[in-house]
Amino acid sequence: MNTTRLVGTALNAAAVPAPRLAGRLLRRLWSHAGRPRAVAAADLDLHERARVQTLRVRGWEVAAYSWGDGALPVLLVHGWRSRASRFAPLVRRLLDLGYSPVSWDAPGHGATPGPVGTILDAREIMGLLQSRHGRFAAVVAHSLGAPFAVHALREGIEADRAVLVAGVSDFAFTVHTFAAALGLGPRAVAALRRAVEGHHFGGDPTVWTRFSAGEGAALTQPLLLLHDEHDTVVPAAQSHLTLAAHHGRARLVTTSGLGHSALLRDPAVLDAITGFVREPGGPARGEGEVPGAVGA
């Protein structure tokens, strides 16, 4: 039995006599992002050319980045254990087209120190960025950044269009995958959920549906979803959930062989994103696939 499973076994046992203690320990493990990811060598030049600002939000000093002349700002929302620099290939494309990309390193990620934040903290950060850069031509989010972006848009962040790449739909998805990795039983999972609700959301048990991209009100913006059929980190079924919830305003484009992260570097995927961002207003419809988008 590996170490991860041993930890899960111990916490399964603890969840019976001491569910609150088990929940607290599980929450700390669940919310630990690990050592911040370094900027990839291929992205370093563009990263160093960014204008860097520090946003002070709820005790954090958040590293925020912007490129371009300020016209047509596009907000980029990274995922778990990632950072703004992962969008470098898209930033280059957007700059070439006259857009001004804007992003930030979430708390506990990249150059932003401290414990990780929540979807509520991300909404506040996006609000500060909007106050500085104005209405966004688009919001582009990857992975766990997807429900964060959808929540912010529902809560009043102004943008013309939205793109979710390999996006999580179900806000409880990370709990399910974490529980599966540790082999947690129902008691331990319930303890974890209660601990997350209590520590981060004032004990509100509705957060799992309220913050899901596939639940609640549909976005008013046209929405493009991109997902690889063989994504083993966030299964493509997550984007299908979001598509169903935004019927009539969303379009799903699938790839094959790119997996979870290579989507952000694939030329055909970048073409699809920038083409959608440049489209005139109106709903995006249907499903499709990116021609020639195969993993390298």
Chain segment 30-85, per-residue pLDDT in tens:
998 888 889 999 999 999 999 999 999 988 999 999 999 999 999 999 999 999 99
150 close to 219: Cβ distance less than 8 angstroms: yes
Write down the domain spans for the chain.
1-31+171-211, 42-170+219-278
Q: Which whole-number Å values give the CA distances from 149 to 142, 186, 230, in the listed order?
A: 9, 30, 24
Instruction: Please say if the pLDDT value at position 219 is more than 90.
Output: yes
CA distance 63 to 107: 9
Angle between helices 186-201 and 173-182 (to 10 degrees): 140
Mean pLDDT, the chain, rounded, equals 93
Closest CA to 214 of 235, 239, 242, 174: 242
Specify the 3-state DSSP secondary structure of 253: strand
141 close to 226: Cβ distance less than 8 angstroms: no
Q: How confident is the model at residue 281 (pLDDT cuts 50, 70, 90)?
A: low
Per-residue model confidence as pLDDT tens digits over 136-157: 999 999 999 999 999 999 999 9
Q: How confident is the model at residue 216 (pLDDT cuts 50, 70, 90)?
A: confident
59 close to 48: Cβ distance less than 8 angstroms: no
Backbone CA torsion sign across 274, 78, 44, 73: positive
CA distance 157 to 195: 29
Q: Which CATH class is domain 42-170+219-278?
A: alpha beta
Instruction: Please say if the pLDDT value at position 284 is more than 90.
Output: no
Instruction: Please say if the pLDDT value at position 88 is more than 50.
Output: yes
Higher pLDDT, 3 or 75: 75
